[in-house]
Homo-oligomer: A and B are copies of this chain.
Amino acid sequence: MAERKEMPLWGWGDAEHSREVPLGAAENLSGELGFAAGTDVGARRIGDFDLAAPVLSPELLERLSSMVPTGSVSTEPWLRLLRAAGKSYADAVRMRAGRPGDAPDAVVTPGEEEEIAGVLQLCSELRIAVVPFGGGTSVVGGLSTIRKDFIGSISLDLGALSGLVSVDKDSLLATFRPGTKGPEAEALLKPYGLTVGHFPQSFEYASIGGFVATRSAGQSSTGYGRIDRNVMGLKVTTPTGRIELAPMPGSAAGPDLRQLLIGSEGTLGVIDEVTLRVHPSPASMVDRAWIAPDFETGREVLRLIEQDGCAPDVARLSDERETEVNLLLAGDSLAVKLLRRYLRLRRRSNGCLMITCFEGESVDVARRSQRASALMRKHHCLSLGSRVAKGWRKGRFAGPYIRDSLMDGGLFVETLETASNWSNLGRLYDAVRTELQGELEKEGGTPVVMCHVSHLYPTGASLYFTFAGKQPYDSVEERLALWQRVKGAACDAIRASGGTITHHHAVGTDHAPWLEDEIGAAGIRLLKAAKAELDPVGIMNPGRLMN
């Protein structure tokens, strides 16, 4: 088993990575929202954590061990903590307070896919809850321990099951083991001249199985497609048997059960093999930034470009507020100064930043980018050239580090996302923005609420909100109550304005209360019926999706 790269309990990514908030931004936030760098870092060492002893007896642990002869069963406290949560704001609040809430009794790491069935059968027999653990990047409470009336709860860690099973280059298909991380998948495909093309912001740590379990969308999904569009075949081990659905290019053989398993978030079984449609590695890349006159015009241009068939693979349009903050975060470098001057000269003190990245075969990239540029210009968008866009590409996985430092400085900072049809996007944006602003203002200061359009489809697009406000409370309970209030108000607003409760973060525990509103009582009954059939004891990731 390869040495595992673990994230710190209290935050994102590589513990050594720089987390400095640029000076200009820090000053701005400290005035408005009371940000004070490094004053609220919290628990860091094992002694800081309030961790209960595992409740599973040595005999039961022994029986579990016998199910994973090539793997391991561990009750090591630090490992239990590492598997106790994902990376949401709520997770961070708990971890930073040294109050993980609860943690798995044991971390079970199968050494082979074949060992999973035995673990699930034993856990069904004994009534032990099982939480599959991929990369641990869930931001919706997908990984916490929920004991209900089970006699114990384990984390089923898929981290040892990584690698490429096979490649069919003619058919553009690649089959992966579930625990393969984003960068590893790319490295494995590179020699074939292929790419998965799936780059969520969590790319560096998330796993192929996790992508599929959560219906993930990556930053380039406008071009390469969401993961659910690229899963051609998959295998799932459930407590009552294995489902194997071979890759087919298209089929009318009844309902597509792949789409019932994709997005099942570990509640139906463990996705232990995935066959993806993969893509030729891009031969050419054209990155370019633009300033749209306003958010509405920017959205309209993106709609036209997408429906014209010349959409970029990455398209991000920031609203006015996010555009300002981006410039602020970029610090007062020469580039930003020049940019401001350039905008002033063109009488654009304001506007909306748009990042576009075209990737692929070079003639096609040229065609699309030229057509898109013409449409941009026609709608009064100003080209900023390639530098800002290249900068975005370079720093595209760095955002989460800044969140950590904002939390270290005592702020409430969170993101949420939704999607809707083009004709409804303006209404949805206004509703969620207003709601977030109002709720955050209740705690004082001038909160930051910003948004970008991040994924384009012929019929609509997604909206991604980032917001920060005062976190005036000290206790875990109060901090979580504030989070719950703001998040809940935004979720209500999303559903009331016809957005999906989640475009790519998945449901987990956090969005579960809103799922019924979206898929209806009969929809929930369908999910429960599927669960009752595959997982009659209900051991698989209890509390997720349906309650």
Give A contacts to B, CB under 8 Å. Answer: 168, 170-173, 214-217, 226, 228, 232, 238, 240-265, 277, 280, 303, 307-309, 360-361, 363-364, 367, 371, 419-424, 455, 457-462, 498, 500-507, 511, 515, 518-523, 525-530, 532-534, 545
CB pair A263 B255 closer than 8 Å = yes
CB pair A253 B502 closer than 8 Å = yes
Contact of A502 among B252, B462, B528 (CB under 8 A): B252
Which of chain B's residues has its CB closest to A545's CB? B254
Q: Give the CA-CA distance A172 to B360 in the complex, in Å.
A: 26
Q: Give the CA-CA distance A499 to B421 in the complex, in Å.
A: 36
CB pair A423 B254 closer than 8 Å = no
Contact of A259 among B247, B260, B360 (CB under 8 A): B260
A243 touching B171 in the complex, CB below 8 Å, given contacts A249-B459, A507-B252: no
In addition to A214-B252, A252-B505, 13 A-B residue pairs with Cβ atoms within 8 Å of each other are: A170-B423, A171-B422, A171-B459, A173-B459, A226-B250, A232-B459, A248-B460, A248-B500, A250-B462, A250-B500, A250-B503, A254-B515, A308-B361
Write the nearest CB–CB distance from A258 to chain B, whole angstroms: 8
> How many chain copies does the complex carry?
2
CB pair B526 A249 closer than 8 Å = no
Chain B residues within 8 Å of A250, by CB:
217, 226, 419, 455, 457, 460, 462, 500, 503-504
> By CB atoms of chain B within 10 A, which of A309, A367, A460 has the most?
A460
Chain B residues within 8 Å of A247, by CB:
421, 459
Contact of A252 among B277, B309, B504 (CB under 8 A): B504
A172 touching B458 in the complex, CB below 8 Å, given contacts A255-B527, A260-B259, A503-B252: yes
Which of chain B's residues has its CB closest to A260's CB? B255
Which of chain B's residues has its CB closest to A528's CB? B533
A253 touching B511 in the complex, CB below 8 Å, given contacts A420-B248, A459-B232: yes
Which of chain B's residues has its CB closest to A252's CB? B215
CB pair A261 B252 closer than 8 Å = no
CB-defined A-B contacts under 8 Å, sample of 21:
A170-B422, A241-B520, A248-B419, A249-B461, A249-B462, A250-B419, A250-B503, A252-B506, A253-B500, A254-B527, A255-B263, A255-B527, A256-B260, A257-B523, A260-B260, A277-B458, A309-B360, A309-B361, A309-B364, A367-B367, A530-B530
